[in-house]
Structure 1
Amino acid sequence: MSSSESSSSPTTSIHHLSASATESTDHHHAHTKRTKRRGKFSDLVFTRNFSTFDRQNALAASSPFHGFFTLFWLGISLFVIKIGAENWRQHGNPLGRNEILKIMFHRDLVVLLIADGVMCFSTGFSWILQRLVRRGVVDWDKEGWVLQNIWQCLFVAGVVGFPLVRDWPWTHTVFFVMHGMVMLMKMHSYAFYNGYLASVWKKRQLLLGKLKELEHVEVVAKHDPDRSWTEPFPLLPRDLSTEHLSRVPSAQEYKERRRMSIAAQQGADTQEEDDMDKIVAAIDSREPLNEEQVHVFERALKWEVDAMTDELRGKATDDKRVYPNNLTLANHYEFIVLPTLVYELEYPRSESINWYYAAEKMVACFGVIFVMIMISQAFIYPVVMETVRMKEMGMPLNERFRYFPWMLADLIFPFMMEYLLSWYLIWETILNFVAELTKFADRSFYDAWWNCVSWDQFARDWNRPVHNFLLRHVYHSSISAMKVDKHTATLITFFLSACVHELVMWCIFKKLRGYLLFLQMFQLPLVSMSRTKWMRNRKTLGNVFFWLGIFTGPSILCSLYLIL
């Protein structure tokens, strides 16, 4: 699979090299640039972190803007109290007519919960497939990844189709489809990372076998006049790249050697890439080898095996989590409930659960949901029902479109409030609640997106879990598997993200219009504009444009879907 990751591709240019720089220095810089390149499964560093607004974050309490955070929630509280008082005066009920809650609990609530449980349980297909790959029943590099993608397509069809069959209200549909997309990304990450490790493990087993065969190869003198060699052997040590053998074997070095295949598409020297294949072919030929060849082959094979062993260990500190020991049912479903979309063999974990803190986040979660319902009921639902009434009356499109500016004006502020509250609900309350229960220590679920000056920065900072997924499994995978440049990979990433968002809008409105797809893709020229000389150093102006987009985007989208 599958936010812009173009700026995350760490390609660093080195300017103003002095005329006296030596050739070896140039070579060192070139090597540094190569080692900074990220491949298909680039390392993501998980560390112990608190989210920005979490009270456990010492920086949050000491922030010079902490008072504004307090003011925001105080204002929200007074605002909701005012809405409740008006509802009580008009309807004798603080919730008013209460249509939204009636929609949420009218029917199929139990069916929704059961369907969601079945959906989460069905992700076990990826675990079963990886077990078959490990046992050699399925080859991941051949039919394995195809079966996984077929299953993912069927999974998406079920997630999208079931709400349509049950004719669920938008509340049920939003929850089920969005959670389904989360499960899809988790399955993909679990399957493709373990599939990659399966390929590494398989090759490591092959090289271990060749090491044993090397012990029984016929060894001859380095210059034997009585020995007639056949082509294409002998494979001489000078034909191999041995520079890396002086370094400690590591996963990073191993991945760098693999990534040389990308450089091959750009005309770089990739002599190192085929060394193992050459050595394996030399051993399989059963031709006699001299002492120097045996020594170099053995060193190269052992280095490669050790580097692969490090790669299979990943970030695991416990042998039970090293591949293939990690392929347990418990490990799979543990990942399914963790608040991350990127699979790793091990994550930083906290020592214990603070149940008081978990309860605090749960109360905050339901509190924010209550506020969102109050705002929707008071300011959004009446506008929506008015558009429904106009359509039922048979009002022509041109007459309905005259109502568009007024609808936009009515929705812009409540939608902005709902936008902010939905972000806080998911990324601050729900994810922190789940993180506390699962002892997941890296809680950097977002960055300071409110300071964004461009849309690519917003794509990275607004939703870190999805950004990390797209970075690894779409952006870098596109570069590695499809051999595209970083600009094309950025386009692919944006387009895939936009398509998924448009799919969700289709599930909600039962209309395929492409408005959200267009607006998301329109961010690309806006990103280019933010990098122009005129905008590059005008951060305040860039932030103003950003907030104008946040203010108007949701209300424009909703108005278009309702009117047209």
Structure 2
Amino acid sequence: MLGLKRRTNSIPVRLEKTTHKGRYILTADDPDIKEILRKGIEREQVERGHAKLRSSFRDLLFTPRLTAFDRRNPSAAHSPFFGFFTLFWIAMVLMLVKVSMQNYRDYGSVLGSNQIMKMMFSHDVWVLAVTDGVMCAATTLTYLFQLVVHQGWLRWERGGWIVQNIWQSLFLGAAIGWAYFREWPWTHTIFVVLHGLVFLMKQHSYASYNGHLSTVYRRRQVLEGKLEHLEQMEPNATSPTRPTFFGRSLDGSRRSIDSALPTDLPESATNPRPSLRPRTATNFTSEKSDVATVARAIESGDAIDTTQLHTFENVIKAELADLTKELQGKSSSARTAYPHNLTLYNFLDYICLPTLVYELEYPRQERTNWWFVAEKITATFGVLCVMMVISQAFIYPPVAKTVRMKEAGMPLEQRWQELPFIVSDMLFPLLIEQLLTWYLIWECILNVLAELTCFADRGFYGDWWNSVTWDQYARDWNRPVHNFLLRHVYHSSISTFHLSRNAATFVTFLLSALVHEMCMAIMFKKVRGYLLCSQLLQMPLVSLSRSKLMKGRDVLGNVIFWIGLFIGPSLLTSLYLVM
């Protein structure tokens, strides 16, 4: 009986030779040994770079690069289409000269009747500037709130994110309400609303990322306490009567030895998958992970031997190393890792950077090129002058015509008959305005901000003009907003609300469409839903572009894209004006 009992309490472990020299296959009867091997192999693969632990936030790659139209970019300087760029700007200058000459002949001024200039600069300009400054200063409340979360006075996962979202709603509501109360022209109103949305997205990204890191930091603190407690424990000199790895199983009962490690390693051991479990919990009661089982074993007070003590220490230290790595993120040193990043300077620096996604550290250039800043500032004012002249000469007349039709009490049927002519009148000027607006913001203004802040990643856009699908256009024409939606809407919908990819894509498109429709409603002071419907229509168009019918037909896809971009703005604007 004694011999039988010893055989029962033993852990059969066998080493079998393989065809490879120095490699063996381990076979054991204890399921805990199997779990140890699997976890150990996963960690070894992660450390070697073959696998990567999943984080709650999508990793975005910030790298030093230049915009496509930057003269310092070799691809732009040696582009085979360089002459067409020169031709475009020569055409813009000649058109500016022609319109100015005509205005001088008709009105005695190169600016013509000057309604656009009067609308922009004759009403509450200083109030507009003060409003923008107040919005910028109000964002610091998000920074102060993260200090509160870090101190533990309010936990992010237990209501902190709710408080943050309430503040963000109040922030945006106050900006829109103030613009509506002042009865500003649409230029002032849309500037405040769009800049308010920029500040809103910046606050959301800052709070979400640091809020997540606060839970990781608290988990690390708890595990450091467990490790300190473990180091103070005295192990038993003899092994337990039953060979258990963690003392108790997840349900609290003693584990039995009734399974063996197979001769051939499972597929999960050779191709480990990233860990999907949360790395933010501090209550290990129901968590199913090796470190949680160790924490429960320590809390139970069961006796452990020296081998188990070392095993427990290794498990906790490995988890602490992973947590420390996550807290450091893309920081090059621990000095900028969480919570050392919670400084007012770091927050204000992020607010000024031309990005909507918060990271602990960004690639920076060594110094500011002031000649480049002067060039882009000059280009900014030059493009603004061209845009105002085009608006005054080609857009203001049809807009004024629609206003006169409504003031004269023209029936809807007659106004509807005028719709095709208004659309045709605004086709070319709105397309030029759209191109110039994009160039003004994404090439001029963002480059100025990047150069002043030494922000080295100038990937503000891709070659959206070569788009063959609408989703490609959505990704490339506005990279900062796309990155924000990708991390904080699309991937957050999947990780937090467990939506499918298709559902998360629909939510992302819907949110973007609602924001655009809100801007149109504020501009025209009416809710019609034309832009909302047109943006949601992009989803079936995306599916069509991925079908066998359109597969490989890049020229046709690009033609369809440009027809939509050419007609869409004029048609939508005319609908809002006429209807």
Q: TM-score range by the shorter chain?
A: 0.7 to 0.9
Q: Verify: 1:474 aligned to 2:489, yes or no.
A: yes
**For residue 149 of structure 1, what is the aligned residue in structure 2?**
165
**For residue 430 of structure 1, what is the aligned residue in structure 2?**
445
**For residue 154 of structure 2, what is the aligned residue in structure 1?**
138
Separation in structure 2 between the aligned mates of residue 273 and residue 425 of structure 1, nearest angstrom? 53
**For residue 23 of structure 2, what is the aligned residue in structure 1?**
none
Separation in structure 1 between the aligned mates of residue 318 and residue 258 of structure 2, nearest angstrom? 17
Say if 1:383 and 1:407, in contact at 8 Å, map to a contact too. Answer: yes
**For residue 266 of structure 1, what is the aligned residue in structure 2?**
none
How far off its partner does 1:307 sit?
Answer: 1.1
Q: Verify: 1:520 aligned to 2:535, yes or no.
A: yes
Cα distance 1:235–1:385, how it changes in 2: closer, same or farther (>3 A)?
farther
Separation in structure 2 between the aligned mates of residue 347 and residue 237 of structure 1, nearest angstrom? 51
Say if 1:338 and 1:435, in contact at 8 Å, map to a contact too. Answer: yes
**For residue 285 of structure 1, what is the aligned residue in structure 2?**
300
Q: Verify: 1:503 aligned to 2:518, yes or no.
A: yes
| Secondary structure of 1:350's aligned partner | coil
Unaligned ranges ≥5, structure 1: 1-26, 248-252, 263-270
State the AA in 2 paired with 1:456: D
Larger radius of gyration: 2
**For residue 185 of structure 1, what is the aligned residue in structure 2?**
201
**For residue 558 of structure 2, what is the aligned residue in structure 1?**
543
State the AA in 1 paired with 2:113: R
How far off its partner does 1:40 sit?
Answer: 3.4
1:202 to 182, 198, 218: 218
Q: Verify: 1:414 aligned to 2:454, yes or no.
A: no
State percent identity of aligned pairs: 51
State the AA in 1 paired with 2:571: I
For residues 47-89 of structure 1, the C-alpha deviation after alignment (integer angstroms, 9 at most, x for no partner) is 1100000111111010101111111111111111111111011
**For residue 93 of structure 2, what is the aligned residue in structure 1?**
77
Say if 1:214 and 1:294, in contact at 8 Å, map to a contact too. Answer: yes
Q: Verify: 1:102 aligned to 2:87, yes or no.
A: no
Separation in structure 2 between the aligned mates of residue 333 and residue 352 of structure 1, nearest angstrom? 19
For residues 280-314 of structure 1, the C-alpha deviation after alignment (integer angstroms, 9 at most, x for no partner) is 11111112122232222111110110111111111
How far off its partner does 1:35 sit?
Answer: 5.1
1:531 to 536, 541, 546: 546
State the AA in 2 paired with 1:94: V
Q: Verify: 1:459 aligned to 2:474, yes or no.
A: yes
Separation in structure 2 between the aligned mates of residue 238 and residue 349 of structure 1, nearest angstrom? 58
For residues 88-130 of structure 1, the C-alpha deviation after alignment (integer angstroms, 9 at most, x for no partner) is 1111101100001100111111000001000011111111111
- Per mean C-alpha deviation after superposition, the further-off stretch among 441-450 and 313-322 is 313-322
2:143 to 104, 127, 131: 127
Separation in structure 2 between the aligned mates of residue 506 and residue 238 of structure 1, nearest angstrom? 68
State the AA in 1 paired with 2:144: I
Say if 1:217 and 1:286, in contact at 8 Å, map to a contact too. Answer: no
Higher relative contact order (CA 8 A, sep 6+): 1
How far off its partner does 1:220 sit?
Answer: 2.3
Say if 1:408 and 1:559, in contact at 8 Å, map to a contact too. Answer: yes
1:369 to 384, 407, 432: 384
**For residue 487 of structure 1, what is the aligned residue in structure 2?**
502
Q: Verify: 1:158 aligned to 2:174, yes or no.
A: yes
How far off its partner does 1:273 sit?
Answer: 5.1
Separation in structure 2 between the aligned mates of residue 412 and residue 515 of structure 1, nearest angstrom? 17
**For residue 12 of structure 2, what is the aligned residue in structure 1?**
none
How far off its partner does 1:541 sit?
Answer: 0.1
State the AA in 2 paired with 1:137: W
Q: Verify: 1:404 aligned to 2:409, yes or no.
A: no
**For residue 90 of structure 1, what is the aligned residue in structure 2?**
106
Q: Verify: 1:59 aligned to 2:75, yes or no.
A: yes
**For residue 41 of structure 1, what is the aligned residue in structure 2?**
57
Cα distance 1:236–1:548, how it changes in 2: closer, same or farther (>3 A)?
farther
How far off its partner does 1:216 sit?
Answer: 2.5
Separation in structure 1 between the aligned mates of residue 549 and residue 243 of structure 2, nearest angstrom? 73
| Secondary structure of 1:403's aligned partner | helix
**For residue 448 of structure 1, what is the aligned residue in structure 2?**
463
Unaligned ranges ≥5, structure 2: 1-40, 280-285
Say if 1:237 and 1:296, in contact at 8 Å, map to a contact too. Answer: no
Separation in structure 2 between the aligned mates of residue 309 and residue 44 of structure 1, nearest angstrom? 19
Say if 1:233 and 1:282, in contact at 8 Å, map to a contact too. Answer: no
Say if 2:464 and 2:473, in contact at 8 Å, map to a contact too. Answer: yes
**For residue 15 of structure 1, what is the aligned residue in structure 2?**
none
Q: Verify: 1:562 aligned to 2:560, yes or no.
A: no
Cα distance 1:238–1:348, how it changes in 2: closer, same or farther (>3 A)?
farther
Matches within 5 A, 1:162-177: 162-177=178-193
How far off its partner does 1:218 sit?
Answer: 4.2
Separation in structure 2 between the aligned mates of residue 297 and residue 238 of structure 1, nearest angstrom? 23
| Secondary structure of 2:159's aligned partner | helix
For residues 252-300 of structure 1, the C-alpha deviation after alignment (integer angstroms, 9 at most, x for no partner) is x9x942x3569xxxxxxxx995222222111111121222322221111
Cα distance 1:282–1:235, how it changes in 2: closer, same or farther (>3 A)?
farther
Cα distance 1:78–1:136, how it changes in 2: closer, same or farther (>3 A)?
same
State the AA in 2 paired with 1:417: I
Cα distance 1:208–1:261, how it changes in 2: closer, same or farther (>3 A)?
closer
Separation in structure 2 between the aligned mates of residue 85 and residue 142 of structure 1, nearest angstrom? 65
| Secondary structure of 2:289's aligned partner | helix
For residues 494-516 of structure 1, the C-alpha deviation after alignment (integer angstroms, 9 at most, x for no partner) is 11111111111111111111111
Cα distance 1:517–1:557, how it changes in 2: closer, same or farther (>3 A)?
same
State the AA in 1 paired with 2:108: G
**Pairwise CA RMSD of aligned residues?**
2.7
| Secondary structure of 1:168's aligned partner | coil
Cα distance 1:319–1:227, how it changes in 2: closer, same or farther (>3 A)?
closer
Separation in structure 1 between the aligned mates of residue 136 and residue 257 of structure 2, nearest angstrom? 53
For residues 517-561 of structure 1, the C-alpha deviation after alignment (integer angstroms, 9 at most, x for no partner) is 100000000000000111010000000000001001111110010
| Secondary structure of 1:289's aligned partner | coil
Cα distance 1:496–1:236, how it changes in 2: closer, same or farther (>3 A)?
farther
Say if 1:39 and 1:476, in contact at 8 Å, map to a contact too. Answer: no
1:353 to 368, 371, 379: 368
With the length of structure 2 as denominator, give the TM-score of the two structures.
0.85
For residues 387-425 of structure 1, the C-alpha deviation after alignment (integer angstroms, 9 at most, x for no partner) is 110101111111111000000000111000001000000
| Secondary structure of 1:220's aligned partner | coil
Say if 2:248 and 2:297, in contact at 8 Å, map to a contact too. Answer: no
Q: What is the number of residues matched between the two proteins?
A: 516
Separation in structure 2 between the aligned mates of residue 238 and residue 140 of structure 1, nearest angstrom? 43
For residues 301-356 of structure 1, the C-alpha deviation after alignment (integer angstroms, 9 at most, x for no partner) is 10110111111111112433111010011110110010000000110111111111
**For residue 406 of structure 2, what is the aligned residue in structure 1?**
391
Say if 2:248 and 2:255, in contact at 8 Å, map to a contact too. Answer: no
State the AA in 2 paired with 1:542: G
